[in-house]
Amino acid sequence: MFKVLRRAWEGLATALLRPINKVAAITLSVYTFLWGVWLALPFWDVFNQSTIYSWLDSIAPEAVWGWAAIVVGIIMTYGVIRTSYNSLTIGAFVGFIHWLIIAIGYYAGNWQNTGGLTATAMAIYCAAIYLSMRVNHTHLAFEKDSDII
């Protein structure tokens, strides 16, 4: 059992040393941006459609959640396109916090939903980008054939 855990831990450490996949990072940032746009649009009321959003709605209106996601998505996209270490690191960290809160909100609204799993996956992915950026802080290791993150 400990050998499996140790091998997994060493695999994670090795993975964090690999370059970030630009396409995957931009996909996450654009998804975050579009998720925010969907909530911020005044043409419909997303939070009233399901009880899954009840906890999130009690914290802030959906436009606030939408604009927060838009800002995070823009920061992350800028960081990837301009290969800006600070923007991508900050965007990934804030994206992690954002998606973690969204996941908690989804689970608080209805613990049986699949949206919570999706938001959790987004939070983990943002955390992986953040950790990779912190480990590879000496340079932005964007490569077209990178196979991690």
Q: Which of 91, 95, 117, 121 is nearest to 106 (CA)?
A: 117
Give pTM, 2 decimals. 0.79
For the record, the structure tokens of 67 come out as: 């604009």
Q: What is the mean pLDDT of the chain?
A: 82
Taken in order 16, 69, 32, 105, the sign of the CA dihedral is: positive
- Averaged over successive runs of 10 residues, the pLDDT of the chain (149 residues) comes to 79 73 86 93 82 83 92 88 82 91 90 88 90 69 49
Q: What residue spans of 17-147 are helical by DSSP H?
A: 22-40, 54-59, 62-81, 85-109, 115-135
